[in-house]
């Protein structure tokens, strides 16, 4: 097949060389984009700068809000969640990071879920909020989502899912219909983005560290897992289990982190 195409076009050799040059250039830029993440202690290969990540999150937030029933009209609920979020980010682990967090309740009584967009906008649905009984449990959910931002999990997904080209266009000043359509497509992918199991474990365990740092009871994270498990599979669509694959031994890993927080949590 390749041979046939080559002889038909005649210029295949030249294109092959150009292809190799492009591949080499993208490999170089891939390795040049390595960045150290002080929160996770890992080197990451990312195609977005923190500034681009923040811009993308801000740009996606309105569509996210619209998708899940708008912002919840209860001001008391909004400020309670905002206070919990603020306490979690006013910690040694989060201070000094470039992210711009915001915390909002979505007016969706059906979908039991919470989300963090790249760069910091963080959301919890009223359906999930209703299932939680204590402030510590709400803090558990928020801490888990905050770690997705700190660990740059969505930027990692974007880099590995080859969404980068679309994103660069979307994050840059999108003008005209093509820009808007591209942005909408990218945001659609962000909203339904699934993280890997390792990312979920990391969000649970570093989330525990964040809770301890903020003075919350980390055992509430275990209760959160029970609540999510009990609510699982109810609403289909975009509930927690469609966007958060549940790793085995999740509770065991949380218990392990609580028991060894002094040695495993970043100081």
Tokens (6 digits) for 245 = 């694959």
Q: Does 157 bind Zn ion (CB under 5 A)?
A: no
Report which residue's Cβ sits closest to Zn ion: 244
β 121-125/102-106 pair status: parallel
| HSE of 173, CA atoms in CB hemisphere, 13 A | 1
d(CA 245, CA 198): 10
Within residues 244-263, the interface with Zn ion by CB under 5 A covers 244
Q: Residue 67 or residue 169: which is nearer to Zn ion going by CB?
A: 67
CB of 124 to Zn ion, least distance (A): 12
Binding mask 169-208 for Zn ion (x = CB under 5 A): -------------------------------x--x-----
Tokens 């002889």 sit at which residue?
7
Stretch that binds Zn ion, among 56-64, 162-170, 236-244, 257-265 (CB under 5 A): 236-244
d(CA 74, CA 89): 23
d(CA 118, CA 145): 11
Neighbouring C-beta atoms of residue 260, cutoff 10 Å: 11
CB of 243 to Zn ion, least distance (A): 7
Site residues for Zn ion per CB under 5 A: 200, 203, 244
């Amino acid at each position: 097949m390749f041979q046939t195409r080559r002889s038909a076009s005649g210029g295949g050799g030249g294109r092959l060389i150009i292809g190799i040059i492009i591949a080499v250039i993208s490999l170089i830029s891939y390795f040049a984009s390595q960045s150290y993440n002080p929160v996770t202690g890992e080197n990451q290969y990312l195609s977005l700068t923190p500034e681009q990540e923040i811009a993308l999150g801000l740009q996606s937030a309105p569509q996210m809000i619209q998708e899940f029933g708008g912002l919840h009209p209860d001001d008391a609920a909004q400020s309670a969640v905002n206070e919990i979020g603020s306490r979690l980010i006013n910690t040694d682990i989060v201070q000094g990071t470039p992210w711009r967090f915001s915390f909002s309740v979505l007016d969706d009584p059906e979908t039991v879920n919470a989300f963090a967009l790249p760069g910091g906008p963080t959301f919890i649905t009223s359906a999930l909020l209703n299932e939680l009984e204590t402030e510590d449990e709400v803090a558990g959910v928020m801490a888990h989502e905050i770690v997705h931002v700190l660990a740059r999990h969505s930027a990692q997904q974007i880099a590995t899912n080859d969404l980068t080209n679309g994103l660069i266009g979307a994050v840059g000043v999108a003008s005209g219909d093509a820009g808007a359509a591209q942005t909408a497509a990218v945001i659609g992918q962000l909203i339904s983005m699934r993280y890997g199991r390792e990312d979920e474990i990391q969000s649970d365990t570093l989330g525990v560290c964040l809770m301890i740092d903020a003075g919350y009871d980390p055992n509430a994270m275990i209760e959160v897992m029970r609540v999510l498990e009990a609510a699982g599979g109810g609403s289909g669509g975009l509930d927690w289990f469609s966007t958060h694959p549940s790793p085995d031994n999740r509770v065991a890993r949380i218990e392990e982190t609580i028991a060894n927080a002094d040695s495993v949590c970043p100081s």
